[in-house]
Amino acid sequence: MALSEFQLIDRVFAARAAARADVSLGIGDDAALLSVPAGMELAVAIDGLHAGIHFPEDTDPKAIGHKALAVNLSDLAAMGADPAWATLFLSLPHPDETFASHFADGFFSLAERFGVALVGGDTVRGPLCAVVQAHGFVPAGEALRRSGARPGDGIYVTGTLGDAGAGLGVVQGRLDIAAPDGDFLRNRLDYPEARLRTGRALRGVASAAIDVSDGILSDLGHILSQSGVGGRIEIGCLPRSEVLLRTLPEPDGINLALSAGDDYELCFTVAADHEPRLQSLAEGLECPITRIGRIESESGLRLIGPDGRIYACDGSGYDHFKGTDNGRDDGDH
Ligand code: ADP
Ligand code: MG
């Protein structure tokens, strides 16, 4: 059913926004009024998703709502911040309550899990697009930055890499992987998990962190350049899901794990002194963590194959995607 902008905001968004003690005024006025607790810094991240660029056109609206928030919570996780508030810019071709309420189901079920309050936004008519700004708190001086990696630090990732990229291949018909494996991969593309618990646990442990939105080669590259260091990755250590291992022959699975985006795992570095502490934390985390390499003083990233030799990878990603704009047209998140 078509609704006015105000009915849509009231019925779909204001009605479901969570209350928080640090929100003096939420949805409904010209601006929200919010309080940052003493001793905390405010971490702010914004990321938008455009139909056909950041998600396939036929994506379930519930998944779009989830992912629009999840990619921003992932940025907060990579800073070691605890999420608190979100604002939402939603552009819809039609003021369609069915679409908006499914979008809201995905958005709010994730928001509720992490105690995030939606405190404002803007709703307009236009091409389908959702932009979320997420706000979180981190104790002053303790945020995880990209710039802190030092030679000798271990390089780690959470979870598994390459699943979301394979999911995109399935959606676009470039990979023929039947259910249930194809569904698992698509689910990894549509419903990324922000590694908030891990990010928080890494305060005081990790020397640098980033979330893997554009592929580990690209995202680890940001840590290396901002830290002024280089590093090596042991290709054989890259964590891959059982599904990816059994459905994609080499070297495609490895290349996806290196270069495909949308996994939203965390990549972080830990000084050798802190590695025993990391091991003792690992059991309490929401997903496994794997050491994939080490930071070195020599600049550049060296990929080491299982035979101990340099692994040749052109860094531009998965061969199946060549000539098809790499499967996505934007390149960046
Ligand atoms: P203004 O014109 O003053 O920006 P709007 O009419 O756009 O106000 O929005 C009315 C209220 O609804 C504001 O508090 C705004 O933050 C909120 N709002 C609008 N769209 C959304 C949305 N998609 N999600 C959450 N809050 C929204
Ligand atoms: Mg407005």
- The pLDDT tens digits for 145-179 are 999 999 999 999 999 999 999 999 999 999 999 99
Pocket test for ligand 1, best of 6, 7, 9, 64 (most atoms within 8 A of CB): 9
Q: Is 121 annotated as a binding residue?
A: yes
- In this structure, is the dihedral angle defined by the CA atoms of residues 131, 241, 144 and 142, taken in order, positive or negative? positive
Question: Tokens in use for 249?
Answer: 């022959």
Q: At 166, give phi and psi (nearest 5°).
A: -70, -35
Mean pLDDT, the chain, as a whole number? 93
pLDDT at 272 over 70: yes
Residue (of 87, 27, 97) closest to 61 by Cα position: 97
Pocket test for ligand 1, best of 123, 128, 131 (most atoms within 8 A of CB): 123
Q: What is the pLDDT of residue 331?
A: 42
d(CA 199, CA 80): 4
pLDDT at 5 over 90: no
For the domain spanning 154-319, the CATH number is 3.90.650.10
Q: Is 47 annotated as a binding residue?
A: yes
Binding site membership of 167 for ligand 1 (Cβ less than 6 Å): no
d(CA 184, CA 163): 8
pLDDT at 140 over 70: yes
CA–centroid distance, residue 44 to ligand 1 (Å): 19
Q: What is the pLDDT of residue 314?
A: 56
Compute the average pLDDT of residues 229-252.
96
Q: What is the pLDDT of residue 315?
A: 52
Beta strands in the chain (DSSP E): 23-25, 33-34, 40-50, 82-92, 117-125, 129-139, 154-158, 206-212, 230-234, 265-270, 289-296, 300-304
pLDDT band at 77 (very low <50, low <70, confident <90, very high): very high
Closest residue (by CA) to atom 11 of ligand 1?
28
Q: Which helix (H) or strand (E) holds 280?
A: helix 275-282
Q: Which helix (H) or strand (E) holds 244?
A: helix 242-247
pLDDT band at 6 (very low <50, low <70, confident <90, very high): confident
Kind of pairing between the strands at 265-270 and 300-304? unpaired
d(CA 77, CA 265): 10
Atom of ligand 1 nearest to the CA of 90: 23
Binding site membership of 55 for ligand 1 (Cβ less than 6 Å): no
For the CA of 107, the nearest ligand: 1
Q: Is 75 annotated as a binding residue?
A: yes
CA–centroid distance, residue 101 to ligand 1 (Å): 16
Residues 6 or more apart whose CB falls under 8 angstroms from that of 316 comprise 259, 322, 326
Closest residue (by CA) to atom 22 of ligand 1?
121
d(CA 293, CA 166): 23
> What DSSP string describes 103-157?
HHHHHHHHHHHTTPEEEEEEEEESSSEEEEEEEEEEETT----SS---TT-EEEE
Question: Tokens in use for 44?
Answer: 């702010």
pLDDT greater at residue 204 or residue 94 = 204
- Single-letter amino acid, residue 156: Y
pLDDT at 208 over 50: yes
- Single-letter amino acid, residue 85: W
Q: Is 330 annotated as a binding residue?
A: no
Q: Is 122 annotated as a binding residue?
A: yes
Reported pTM = 0.93
Compute the average pLDDT of residues 17-34.
96
Q: What is the pLDDT of residue 84?
A: 98
**What order of strands is seen across the sheet that includes strand 40-50?**
40-50, 129-139, 82-92, 117-125
Q: Is 318 annotated as a binding residue?
A: yes
| CATH number 3.40.50.11540 given to 5-139 | no
CA–centroid distance, residue 60 to ligand 1 (Å): 24
For the chain, what are the domain ranges? 5-139, 154-319
Q: Token pair 């379930």 is at which residue?
A: 60
Q: At 294, give phi and psi (nearest 5°).
A: -140, 150
CA–centroid distance, residue 68 to ligand 2 (Å): 19
Q: What is the CA radius of gyration of the chain?
A: 20
Collapsing DSSP to helix, strand or coil, 212 comes out as strand
Give the pLDDT confidence of 273-327 residue by residue, as tens digits.
Answer: 999 999 999 999 989 999 999 999 999 999 999 899 999 875 544 333 444 443 3
pLDDT at 124 over 50: yes
Binding site membership of 121 for ligand 1 (Cβ less than 6 Å): yes
